């Protein structure tokens, strides 16, 4: 097995809580698979990374789609059809823990759920940032129209993603049913799709596998397929890939220009609306929102903010679009802002140079 080096990867997304193994599988096998993604998780956080060279392939593939009227229309129509005809009925049906679920129903359901990660992946910056850069450079009308629509589609898609992955959402309810029927506690949260289906055939899942995945798990893409690393290697990769050095200054991508000084409010990426609401109650007008990424449920925070800083995202991320609409400075793609700064820190945001400095 090849050695995985942190310097070969860019950070994608990070959650400050546990993520189900099923979500990790969907993410890795969706459209982000082209980027040779690596996912590593422990008991406290979930992290994803994209291979730097393969990310270039994603950007080129995105440009190919977004620069073509025909290809983009085909993609956007398919995604919207999926949301209307598949995703919304699924959300309605599984808004509660089901009372009954057969193997054939689960098999079809898993296929339908996984489609979201294929469609939604194209809305991420690893596919559209090159297209956005070329749009600005050449004032391309087709790119401008398609990327504007992609921004709207991303908002809709994120609402579906939240409904699937939030606490008490679709995936949570399905896994709770399977845990109650076949397993103990929350054990279904740590099983892959084929293992979940095997429960209906009395396939025994090793308790060592479940126990190890609760502590650490790492998945990568090997020859186009999902590969699970052994426990010791998974633990080593997690520690190497999530190590952070302390700094007082960060740089990122300017999504909207401006300069402000203010106090920090940290918003980690969460999958629980109650926890999001707790952060909203702490936010004061003029605070600087420092988030891993923003999405529709963070709008009350964005409207109060004097500036937005994110770990992740590109020029068409939610934070970038919203900051331009609100007319406030925004810097995205800092990677570690939520890890470096703390609630109450005073910082200077220079969104002309793309620099954030701690001043007290």
Task: Classify residue 316: in a domain, yes or no.
Answer: yes
Measured CA to CA in angstroms, residue 108 lies from 100, 102, 112 at distances of 15, 10, 6
How much is the pLDDT for 272?
Answer: 73
Q: Output phi, psi for 298, to 5 deg.
A: -95, 5
Measured between alpha carbons, how far is 211 from 160 in angstroms, rounded to an integer? 31
pLDDT digits (tens, 9 = 90+) for 39-72: 999 988 899 999 999 999 999 999 999 999 999 9
Judgement on whether residues 125 and 253 belong to the same structural domain of the protein: no
Half-sphere exposure of 98 (CA within 13 A, CB side): 20
Q: In whole angstroms, what is the distance from residue 273 CA to residue 172 CA?
A: 14
Rg of the Cα atoms in the chain: 20
Residue 84 is assigned to a structural domain of this protein:
yes
In angstroms, the CA 186 to CA 175 distance is: 8
d(CA 128, CA 94): 32
254-303 tens-digit pLDDT: 999 999 999 999 998 777 778 888 888 999 999 999 998 888 888 999 99
Looking at the structure, tell me whether residues 213 and 280 fall in a common domain: no
Backbone φ and ψ for 44, nearest 5 degrees, come out as -115, -25
Q: What percent of the chain has pLDDT over 70?
A: 99
- CA nearest 34: which of 143, 122, 110, 114? 122
Instruction: Find where tokens 């993603």 sit.
Output: 161
Q: What is the DSSP string of 121-133?
A: HTTSHHHHHHHHH
- Please write down the long-range contacts of 136-145, taking CB distance under 8 Å and 24 or more positions apart: 140/67, 142/67, 142/68, 142/69, 143/66, 143/67
- How many domains does the chain divide into? 2
SS (H, E, C) 302-329: HHHCCEEEECCCCCCCHHHHHHHHHCCC
Is residue 1 scored above 60 in pLDDT?
no
Instruction: Give me the mean pLDDT over the 6-27 stretch.
Output: 91
pLDDT reading at 99 higher than 60: yes
Task: Order the strands of the 38-42 sheet from edge to edge.
Answer: 9-15, 46-51, 38-42, 216-222, 225-228
Domain membership flag for residue 191:
yes
Of the three residues 241, 275, 304, the one that is the final residue of a domain is 241
pTM above 0.95? no
- Output 2 or 231, whichever has higher pLDDT: 231
- In this structure, are 14 and 159 located in the same domain? yes
pLDDT in tens, 135-188: 999 999 999 999 999 999 999 999 999 999 988 899 999 999 999 999 999 999
Give the residue from 241, 274, 299 where a domain finishes. Answer: 241
31 shares its domain with 138: yes
Q: Which of 241, 257, 275 is the last residue of a domain?
A: 241
Question: Which pLDDT score is estimated for 273?
Answer: 77
CATH code for position 272: 3.50.30.10
pLDDT value at residue 360: 66
In this structure, is residue 31 part of a structural domain? yes
Q: Do residue 231 and residue 264 come from a single domain?
A: no
In tens, the pLDDT along 26-42 reads 999 999 999 999 999 99
Q: Is residue 226 situated within a structural domain? A: yes
The per-residue pLDDT for 59 is: 97
| 53 C-beta neighbours (distance < 10 Å), count | 11
Q: Is the residue at 179 inside a domain?
A: yes
Contact 41, 27 (CB under 8 A): no
Domain that holds residue 330: 249-358
User: Alpha helices, DSSP H only, in 122-230?
Assistant: 125-138, 141-165, 170-182, 193-198, 207-215
Q: What is the pLDDT of residue 2?
A: 64
Inside any domain, residue 140: yes
Under the banding of pLDDT at 50, 70 and 90, the label for residue 315 is: confident
The verdict on 204 and 255 lying in the same domain is: no
Residues 167 and 68 in one domain: yes
In sequence order, the 6+-apart residues with CB closer than 8 A to the CB of 87 are 116, 160, 163, 164
Of 36, 57, 60, the C-alpha closest to 48 is: 36
Mean pLDDT value of segment 124-143? 94
Contact 29, 117 (CB under 8 A): yes
Mark whether 329 and 226 lie in a shared domain: no
Same domain, 153 and 32: yes
pLDDT of residue 114: 97
Q: Which residues contact 282 (CB under 8 A, 6 or more apart)?
A: 265, 343
Instruction: For the chain, give the percent of residues with pLDDT over 90.
Output: 80
Query: Measured between alpha carbons, how far is 288 from 263 in angstroms, rounded to an integer?
Result: 6
- Looking at residue 293, what is its pLDDT? 87
Domain match, 232 and 264 both: no
User: Any bridge partners for residue 350, and if so which?
Assistant: 259, 355
Q: Indicate the length of the chain as a whole number.
A: 360
Q: Are 215 and 42 within 8 A, CB to CB?
A: yes
For position 316, what pLDDT does the model report?
A: 85
Expressed in percent and rounded to 5, the helix, strand and coil fractions of the chain are 55, 20, 30
- Look over the chain and give the mean of its residue pLDDT values, rounded to a whole number: 93
Same domain, 228 and 289: no
The pLDDT value recorded for residue 249 is 86
For residue 1, tell me if it sits in a domain: no
**254 and 236 within one domain:** no
């Amino acid at each position: 097995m090849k050695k995985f080096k942190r310097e070969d990867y860019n950070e994608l997304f990070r959650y400050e809580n546990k993520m189900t193994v099923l979500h990790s599988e969907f993410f890795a096998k969706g459209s982000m698979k082209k980027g040779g993604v690596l996912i590593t998780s422990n008991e406290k956080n979930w992290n994803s990374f994209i291979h730097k060279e393969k990310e270039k392939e994603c950007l080129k593939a995105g440009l190919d789609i977004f620069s073509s009227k025909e290809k983009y229309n085909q993609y956007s129509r398919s995604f919207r059809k999926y949301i209307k005809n598949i995703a919304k009925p699924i959300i309605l049906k599984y808004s509660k823990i089901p009372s009954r679920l057969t193997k054939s129903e689960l098999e079809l359901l898993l296929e339908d759920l996984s489609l979201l990660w294929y469609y939604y992946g194209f809305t991420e910056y690893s596919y559209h940032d090159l297209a956005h850069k070329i749009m600005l450079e050449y004032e391309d009308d087709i790119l401008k129209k398609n990327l504007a629509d992609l921004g709207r589609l991303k908002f809709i898609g994120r609402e579906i993603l939240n409904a699937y992955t939030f606490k008490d959402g679709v995936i949570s309810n399905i896994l709770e049913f399977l845990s109650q029927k076949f397993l103990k506690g929350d054990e279904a949260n740590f099983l892959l799709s084929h293992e979940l289906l095997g429960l209906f055939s009395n396939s025994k899942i090793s308790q060592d596998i479940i126990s190890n995945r609760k502590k650490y798990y790492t998945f990568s893409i090997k020859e186009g397929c999902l590969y699970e690393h052994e426990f010791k290697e998974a633990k080593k990769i997690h520690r190497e890939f999530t190590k952070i050095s302390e700094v007082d200054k960060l740089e990122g991508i300017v999504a909207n220009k401006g300069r402000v000084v203010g106090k920090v409010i940290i918003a980690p990426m969460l999958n629980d609306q109650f926890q999001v609401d707790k952060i909203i109650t702490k936010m004061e007008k003029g605070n600087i929102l420092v988030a891993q990424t923003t999405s529709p449920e963070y709008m009350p925070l964005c409207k109060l903010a004097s500036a937005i800083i994110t770990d992740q995202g590109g020029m068409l991320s939610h934070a970038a679009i919203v900051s331009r609409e609100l007319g406030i400075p925004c810097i995205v793609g800092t990677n570690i802002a939520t890890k470096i700064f703390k609630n109450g820190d005073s910082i200077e945001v220079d969104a002309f140079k793309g620099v954030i400095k701690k001043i007290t």
